[in-house]
Amino acid sequence: MRTVLLAAAAVLALSCGGGGKTMRAGAPDATPSWLSEGTGAIRTEGGRKLQGVGVASGATNERARRHQADGAAREQLQGAVDALVRVLARTGESPQDGQAVAAMARRAAAQVSAIRDHWVTPDGDERALAVVEVDEFKKALQGVDGDDRVRREMFANVDRAFEQIAIARGR
């Protein structure tokens, strides 16, 4: 009985590890690829995504540093989402739809955004990666409240808007 309880406690402790993985900088090749990709519209073999890379430095408390890096990554991601919103609003049939486009796109992005990774440099700075996968964004967009015509129009234009942002960014 004691063995079963110890095993259950060990499994529980391992499963509650605190979310995203943290990588410590070691060799130069250990640097994650998302650091060089930066913030914006990114095309990868796995698909298309909007991402934000946030940095926290100077915090001695690991939890506070993680919180700062996550907040900075979310802020950077919001900038990428806002760029998508601007392009979607321009591609709409009616300029008056801009506010509806912005509200619906931000709600959809909020539903599917996530902190995906962390990386800590040798000097203790932490980088965090926040991501919105474009395919997941499109799925979420179908379920947000708002005008059906505007939603259909946005859904039809997401891919083109993403490509415009990626081209402008040079990726």
Tens digit of each residue's pLDDT (9 = 90 or more) over 126-136 = 999 999 999 99
Q: Which domain holds residue 36?
A: 21-169
Q: Are 120 and 22 in contact (CB under 8 A)?
A: yes
Q: What is the identity of the amino acid at 164?
A: Q
Residue 29 banded pLDDT, cuts 50, 70, 90: low
| 6 domain residue, yes or no | no
Task: Give the tokens for residue 124.
Answer: 């203790």
Statement: the pTM of the whole predicted model exceeds 0.75: yes
| 4 domain residue, yes or no | no
Residue 95 banded pLDDT, cuts 50, 70, 90: low
The tally of domains found in the chain comes to 1
| 36 domain residue, yes or no | yes
Q: How far is Cα 63 from Cα 111, in angstroms, rounded to an integer?
A: 24
Is residue 44 scored above 50 in pLDDT?
yes
